[in-house]
Amino acid sequence: MTPLERLDRYLTGEQGKSPATRAAYLADARLLLALAGDTAMENLTPREIRGFVRRMKSQGHDHRSIARRLSAWRGWFKLLVREAGFATNPVEGIKAPRAARKLPRPIGVDEAQGFLENLDEDDPLARRDRAMYELAYSAGLRVSELVGAGLADFRDEGRTLQVLGKGGKSRQVPVGDYARQALDNWLMDRASLVQPGETALFLNQRGRRMSTRAVQLRLAEWSTKLGLADRLHPHRLRHACASHFLQGSQDLRATQELLGHSSIATTQVYTRLDFQHLASVYDAAHPRAHTSDDEADI
């Protein structure tokens, strides 16, 4: 009995898979046989399986398809180890490539400022929202950092904020003038809403700390109310802050510190660093970018 026949019998008998599921498993199995070519299945190694993964990726297969096929192959080899005497399962421990990082659609400077300046401030919760979103855009905060902020986290007369980021890492971020003004307006309302013992900077209507979901929903409501073509969410404000700060400063390291990224590579991907600008700065600044005229003539 061939390995493929053994798999078919297992799917229809012991597993009792539906015809559609059985067809999908067999298609994944035939793909492995095609990739293996003349190499017998019992001779396949993890190195060759990784090569198949790279080939599928280069041919445009997405990470979900590759992960599904690896899962099917892993189960097939497990069956063959159990029933056909195969020595090892070469797919064990092989992982699919990670999904490509998807970034929010960039928000222009005028779009971001227009949104913030058109937020009505006719009630305490609206003033709270204006303060939240001004702060998120000013300091590039994650939504978890925004709702985690407390009154005691401000430093330097409100000009900086101590933030607890991912992995429990703390950083200080600057707070711009517009955000400070919006926060001053909100703090007058906060005093009349806050419940005893509550230290959160931003409160819900019951006087307790805002949840991340509540922040997201309020921002979606404002997007609809203001007639925005694309719904805003907190991460788009963080992305806008990062993009606009980088465009203005051209300082990747400072952008990394502002966002609290542990790796500068994350910042470079996140902000869509303009490589052409980087190349021009390198040409102008690096002492080994160009040879001198004399050296060029040698």
What burial letters (b/e) apply to 226-243, b meaning 16+ CB within 10 Å?
A: eebeeebbbebbbbbbbb
**Distances in whole angstroms, Cα of residue 288 to Cα of each of 198, 274, 276:** 57, 21, 18
pLDDT-wise least confident of 84-93, 185-194, 226-235: 226-235
Write the pLDDT tens digit of every residue in 85-116. 999 999 998 988 877 666 666 788 888 888 99
Active site residue 47: no
Residue with the larger pLDDT of the pair 128 and 95: 128
- Determine which one of 142, 180, 236, 239 is catalytic: 142
pLDDT-wise least confident of 126-140, 183-197, 233-247: 233-247
The whole-angstrom separation of Cα 68 and Cα 29 is: 11
Given this model, what pLDDT does residue 8 score?
87
Contact 102, 62 (CB under 8 A): no
Q: Residue 26, Cβ neighbours under 10 Å: how many?
A: 17
Locus of tokens 């959160």: 200
Write the pLDDT tens digit of every residue in 19-58. 888 899 999 999 999 999 999 999 999 999 999 999 998 8
Active site residue 238: yes
Write the pLDDT tens digit of every residue in 137-183. 999 999 999 999 999 999 988 899 999 998 889 999 999 999 999 99
Given this model, what pLDDT does residue 139 score?
93
Active site residue 142: yes
Question: What is the CATH code for 109-234?
Answer: 1.10.443.10
- Determine which one of 54, 82, 159, 166 is catalytic: 166
Contact 70, 91 (CB under 8 A): yes
Residue with the larger pLDDT of the pair 269 and 1: 1
**Distances in whole angstroms, Cα of residue 294 to Cα of each of 14, 138, 184, 258, 283:** 79, 49, 62, 43, 18
Active site residue 277: no
Active site residue 235: yes
Given this model, what pLDDT does residue 289 score?
62
The whole-angstrom separation of Cα 16 and Cα 26 is: 14
Contact 206, 195 (CB under 8 A): yes
- pLDDT mean across residues, the chain: 86
Contact 237, 136 (CB under 8 A): yes
Contact 4, 22 (CB under 8 A): no
- Determine which one of 10, 25, 133, 270 is catalytic: 270
Residue 186 has which token pair?
């909100």
Active site residue 74: no
- Determine which one of 61, 238, 239, 244 is catalytic: 238
Q: Is the pLDDT of residue 81 over 80?
A: yes
pTM of the model: 0.62
Given this model, what pLDDT does residue 290 score?
62
